Chain A
């Protein structure tokens, strides 16, 4: 039997490079988590560390499973998936569990999950389908339909309120739309409409989110809350200098000056302990994944699959850019985890499922 992914030959195909990079990122994640969970020289939080190992195993299994499911299936059921996704979001609104002021979790017989994560996957599928099937079919089919699909979804997520995910979904709409061949001026209209709608969106925002946006523009407004986090995060990153302080030696990290350092702000630990060299190394690994994905995407023949893969790639890029941007103080603190590295299973699972879908597209392409 032919080895479709070329895994058995000793030759670095793009797919192999991506997989190696992912494994490498898992290792970096666990190493950094091990350091971030230290306090005063003691490793205190075994359960969190062990949980993450289990999540990584689950994620790889899902990647394998999803790489075996024919991706065309998703397109056949795209709108049904979308409807289910909306129902889940509305259900969260009605019955959701409130965790820390945000109603993002839905609990079904003891198993709770975030429908907004499901949304990320579904919106990619739906946009790929609706942009590619609407091509050359007039303004309504090629622009208004995908626009409405995106905005309804984003609005529901925005209301939860999960600002980060809502913004990511809107960005994905633009990236996928612009690469699908739809006239560019439509998107200019969309941006103008967005500017007009912005004051209304501001009105729905929760008090703490308004604060975050204001703090982003001027961190000194809130020197104790987000301002404190950004100041400490900058000190941590900067003090790593070129070569870093070494593994387990980051003082900002070890002395507990960094809030949320095992979740959204985990990059500060890497930057402090491994320095500029380590940070750039991490970026290079991320870049390899994105670049190899784009290489593969270029060879794809099915326009629908190509668009979906572009969307997956865009989602990865946005997560990396927004998270690092917010730890560096160049973007607002919107609560987006660092891809592959942050503690937490849900975002990891979404990423691996999307990669699984991407690998299936790639396999089918080779098979042809």
Chain B
């Protein structure tokens, strides 16, 4: 292929372009000029409906409701704009500059309706339409409504108009008015929930009257998302927690389905939809916007002890008949480490039931900090649980000898009772205790049951390869926590649910955190529960909340 040929190819290309230009600009120029002068082509957008979020019994939790905006068409009102706005502002009880600001911000072109007053109730909207006739347009649009905001806001999250981050979303097929989930399930499952906006492409004459129809794209409704949550359980859980700071989680031990998950204090997601009174949530020192179940980490306290016990059994450092004597305190070097009681001879069973610190100090000394740290990590205390919610935060387990400073024997002893540098989220703690309940699996928790009535949920679990015999020993110990007369959670015995578990009081700056982690029935666990109360002083309150929660579930026969 010679260069002359290339030159000809390029020239050919240019001639094609010139010929096309000639056709459009010279031959059909007048035709297009007429179209441009009146701009005949107009897009009327049709908003799509977002999928509904339901609980496991199909109770709607988040739905789209019709709302109304007042809009004007710029080129129709050009000359009387200020007059119209001042009249409208009286009727709507809005400030004129709010209308002007909305107008300026939402203006796209002279011929498309611009929303100037948002979320007007239907009666007012109709009244205005009668009064102002063609000067205003009623623009109906779907608005998100959350039925039980305080119970569900942390799980469901909320949506926002895409406009503010539109540039990033454009190529994913979002339009600026479309709503995008920015938190919770609304964010995580946005791809299912979001529909697709449509519109009519119409041809109008110079007076704005429709004279032709060029095409349409039907809006597509989003898919419905059904949660594993039982809203009856969720209501009871929230009722019990609402005036405290804490977390309650109930999960199916074998599948990982979350049945209830409450973080308190909570917030009203509807305020984010309306954009009203948000300061109260941002400025609240109790930080209600944080989902404490997955976004905060706390010291574990004694709930770490079952893992310490299992580690010692697995490493063959102790057996069920190994005993240590508790005299209420243990001297290590110059320091004294205390226990809450003077428990005497303790084996693994009694030590768990009493939550005896001395016993665990002793096995930690034999076992070494590295092993403790390895097992904590194996039980998922430093990994994300993988729950289908955005912004999950993982816990931290110290690396002896590396962080955060030189490691002392005292640090090892502290670690044995879940204090010091070990922290995890309540959900991670639940997943760790669930290893015993599920027969040795790290189970992934999840919230999504069905999408548009098709089952999506699938259990994912990893076997940790621990010996069942050793786990049985710990589980017998955990039975004692409830069943033994000296057990720290003996209050739960009268529920007759055959509960096993472990209490924990974790030292913290503003008062000890209270924990109860457990599962039931003892022989073949079906449910795993975590109750966590921030700065509650001790575990007593956590056990009481557990008692009340499970008691009410039993009374109402929803277990």
Binding site for B on A (CB under 8 A): 99-102, 175, 178-179, 184, 207-208, 220, 222-224, 227-228, 231-232, 234-242, 251-252, 255-257, 271-272, 275-276, 279-280, 283, 286-287, 290-291, 294, 297-298, 310, 313-314, 317, 321, 324-325, 328, 330
Contacts and interface: CB of A to CB of B under 8 A. Distances in A.
A237 B31 CA distance: 11
A238 B43 contact: no
Contact of B18 (A224, A242, A280, A298): A280
Contacts of B109: 255-257
B21 A279 contact: yes
Given A220-B215, A223-B215, A240 B25 contact: yes
B325 interface: no
B6 A235 contact: no
A242 B22 CA distance: 9
Given A235-B32, A276-B26, A101 B41 contact: no
Given A231-B214, A328-B17, 5 more contacts: A223-B199, A235-B41, A242-B26, A297-B3, A330-B20
A232 B42 CA distance: 10
Which 9 A-B residue pairings sit nearest by Cβ, starting from the closest? A238-B32, A101-B171, A223-B215, A241-B29, A239-B36, A223-B201, A100-B171, A276-B25, A178-B1
Given A237-B32, A241-B33, A242-B25, A283 B6 contact: no
Nearest to B38: A251
Contact of B217 (A223, A232, A257, A286): A223
Nearest to A236: B36
A224 B28 contact: no
Nearest to B108: A256
Contacts of B29: 238-242, 276
B407 interface: no
B295 interface: no
B408 interface: no
A57 B25 CA distance: 35
Contacts of B17: 283, 321, 324-325, 328
Residue of B11, B30, B41, B171 contacting most chain A CB atoms (<10 Å)? B171
Contacts of B43: 224, 228
A251 B35 CA distance: 11
Interface string B147-187: 00000000000000000000111111100000000000000
A257 B215 contact: no
B24 interface: yes
Chain B binding surface SS class: helix
B13 interface: yes
B458 interface: no
Contacts of A100: 167-172
Contacts of B497: none
B340 interface: no
Interface string B473-508: 000000000000000000000000000000000000
A75 to B, nearest CB: 21
A179 B6 contact: yes
B171 A287 contact: no
B168 A99 contact: yes
Chain A binding surface SS class: helix
Given A234-B32, A237-B25, A239-B36, A101 B172 contact: yes
A276 B21 contact: yes
B327 to A, nearest CB: 58
B172 A328 contact: no
Residue of A220, A222, A228 contacting most chain B CB atoms (<10 Å)? A228
A237 B24 contact: yes
A280 B26 CA distance: 12
B92 interface: no
B198 interface: yes
Contact of A280 (B2, B21, B32, B216): B21
A241 B199 CA distance: 31
A265 B164 CA distance: 24
B7 interface: yes
Contacts of B22: 276
A213 to B, nearest CB: 15
A283 B16 CA distance: 11
B453 interface: no
A262 B172 CA distance: 21
A257 B6 CA distance: 38
18 contacts: A101-B171, A179-B6, A184-B1, A208-B171, A223-B199, A224-B217, A238-B24, A238-B25, A239-B35, A241-B25, A251-B37, A256-B109, A276-B25, A283-B14, A286-B14, A294-B6, A324-B17, A328-B21
A275 B25 contact: yes
Contacts of A232: 41
A224 B6 contact: no
A231 B33 CA distance: 13
A227 B10 CA distance: 28
A294 B3 contact: yes
A223 to B, nearest CB: 3
B215 A227 contact: yes
Contacts of B173: 207-208
Contacts of A256: 108-109
A31 to B, nearest CB: 19
Contacts of B18: 280, 283
Interface string B519-541: 00000000000000000000000
A227 B167 CA distance: 20
B98 interface: no
Contacts of B214: 220, 223, 231
A330 B20 CA distance: 9
B14 A287 contact: yes
Contacts of A175: 6
A73 B14 CA distance: 34
B217 A328 contact: no
Contacts of B45: 224
Nearest to B40: A235
A84 B203 CA distance: 53
A213 B33 CA distance: 28
Nearest to B33: A239
Contacts of A238: 24-25, 28-29, 31-33, 35-36
Contacts of A321: 13-14, 17
A312 B508 CA distance: 68
A251 B39 contact: yes
A234 B24 contact: yes
B437 to A, nearest CB: 39
B110 interface: yes
Given A241-B30, A257-B109, A290-B10, A328 B39 contact: no
B43 to A, nearest CB: 6
A225 to B, nearest CB: 8
Contacts of A102: 171
Contacts of B16: 325, 330
Residue of B18, B21, B170, B198 contacting most chain A CB atoms (<10 Å)? B21
B116 to A, nearest CB: 17
B205 to A, nearest CB: 15
